[in-house]
Each structure stands twice: as structure tokens, then as C-alpha cells.
Amino acid sequence: MIKVLKAGFYSTIQDLGRIGVQQFGVPYSGVMDRKAASFANALVGNNEGEAVLEMTMMGAQLEFKTPTCIAISGAHMSPMLNGILIENNHVVRVEMGDVLRFGKLLSGFRCYLAVSGGFKTETVMGSKSMYPNITKANKVVKNDIIKIEPTNRLNEGKHAKIRFNGAYITSNVLEVFEGPEFEYLSINQRDELFSALFTISNNSNRMGYQLVETIQNDLKPIITGPVIPGTVQLTPSGKLIVLMRDCQTTGGYPRVLQLSEASINVLSQKFTGQSVFFQLKSMISV
């Protein structure tokens, strides 16, 4: 068991999300940064779909009631075990009574904690991912008790020796594909899309990232159509919204771009005031 002493700014249990229920209006959800979460799971010997703790901007403080192995990946939040700094992207042995807490945010925005065997929280529609009105809880709160299985042996297998390339965490390049309505954009609109820096607004969350700068928009509204994480919508005011893991399943704004899976990971590590730019996949030299 793990007791939550402090929950941090916004911490949730997430896995790879809910697949095959979008026709009922249920979002995919799941970890925002799949690369970091999967890596943390791999380090402790889990499959990539095991549930992890996703922490946003500010980490939690956790007391372990049972021994286990942990790994932390993604944003660097100065993790400390019993007051001693520990490294990201390494397997760490945790004993009963140990306290894990996080300090200053040094890079990135979202951090992932994996434990050996995964977090044993409720499964709804094939996923442990927290989401309002789907799971009983929509985030982790103080004094929560989270079930894990005890582990008495440090994982010293090959997974503990793999290297993590975290360069994407500080990258500001978003690789994109053309969206379904991209063809309706004028040459000038396309030039604006691919020549400008776009700033993350303060109206950004797990549902979507809104960008501050606008582009000219005279496109006609579309009939509501399907959207997925990474879809970039162009609103009537010329603002861009990049849909993220908790996004709705349909939308009525033109879908001008679609982020690659890797670019969703990049964007998930960005916070208010940081800038990104779009790079069309076909424009990238191989």
C-alpha cells in the first residue's frame, strides 16, 4: 500500500487509456506522455500498459507501506527518498516506511512514477485511467491509500540498463500530418501555420492545449466529425486548439493538423508561456 501524504498540484492514475468505447462518447484518456510512462514501466519490469502515477507541475508526497521497486521518468521534479535525492530513469528499491517526495521542477511538466506490478486501482471499461464520471475518483487526493503488491527483490534485469533519450522534453518542434480539412487552407494560412511560434496559453489541460497566437480564418464550419488526441482544431476566431488525451470524441471546428504520437509526448511536457512550432511531417528530411 501507498499512503498519499500530499497529492501535488494534479496527480492521477493513468495507463494507456480506454480503447473501443469512443462511440459511446468516452474519451481515450491515459498518460499524456506515453514515452516517459512506458519507460518507467519497463525499468521495473512491467508491461507498458500498467498503471502509473502521473504528476503535473508539482509532485506528490508518498509513504510506502510495503516494499517495492520504483522508477521515475518524464519531467525532472527533484525526487527525494527519505530526504536523499534520487535519479530519474533508474530503478530504486523502496522499503516499508520510506517516504518519496518531490521538490523543484527543473525540466518538463509531467512526471511518471511506476511501481513493480503497477497500481492496483479500479478498472473501468478496460482501463484504470482516472476520468470524471467514469471512475469513482478523478484525481489522487491527500490520505488516499493506493494498493500495490509487495516486491522483495530489486529488478536487476536488462530493462534496468536501457537508456532514456529525454531530448524531446525540451524540444519545441511538433511534427504534424495534414488534417482532414487542411486542403481548405489558403497558401497564406499554411504559411502562417508553419512559420509562426505559438505560445501555450493558461487555458490548457488534459483535454486540450489552447495556443495564444491566431491565424486568419475564413473557413466554413464543418459538420461535427470524429476527433482524436493530437487533432489540431482551428476555431472561428483563428485560435488553435490541440486536443489531448481527455478530449471529446467529436468536434465541429476544422481539423487542420494532426500531431504525431511523438509530438503529443512533446506537447504534454510544455506549460503556460512556452512556445512551439509546427513542422509538417513530409517536410522533415529522413
Nearest to 218 by CA among 176, 174, 256: 256
Q: pTM here?
A: 0.91
Average pLDDT estimate for 130-143: 94
Of the ranges 44-53, 153-162, 250-259, which one carries the lowest mean pLDDT score?
A: 153-162
Q: Given this model, what pLDDT does residue 240 score? A: 97
Nearest to 114 by CA among 59, 68, 164, 174: 68
Residue 240: all three cell numbers together: 488553435
> What sections of the chain are H helices per DSSP?
34-43, 187-195, 261-268
Residue 43: all three cell numbers together: 525499468
Average pLDDT estimate for 218-229: 87
Which sequence spans correspond to the domains of the chain? 2-167, 171-283
Topology of the domain comprising 171-283: Cyclophilin (2.40.100)
Give the sheet arrangement for strand 10-14, strand by strand. Answer: 10-14, 52-56, 107-115, 68-76, 91-94
CA distance 65 to 180: 50
Q: With pLDDT > 70 as the criterion, what percentage of the chain qualifies?
A: 94
pLDDT band of residue 155 (cuts 50, 70, 90) is: low
| Number of other residues whose CB lies within 10 A of the CB of residue 83 | 7
Residue range 164-184, pLDDT digits in tens: 888 999 999 999 999 999 999
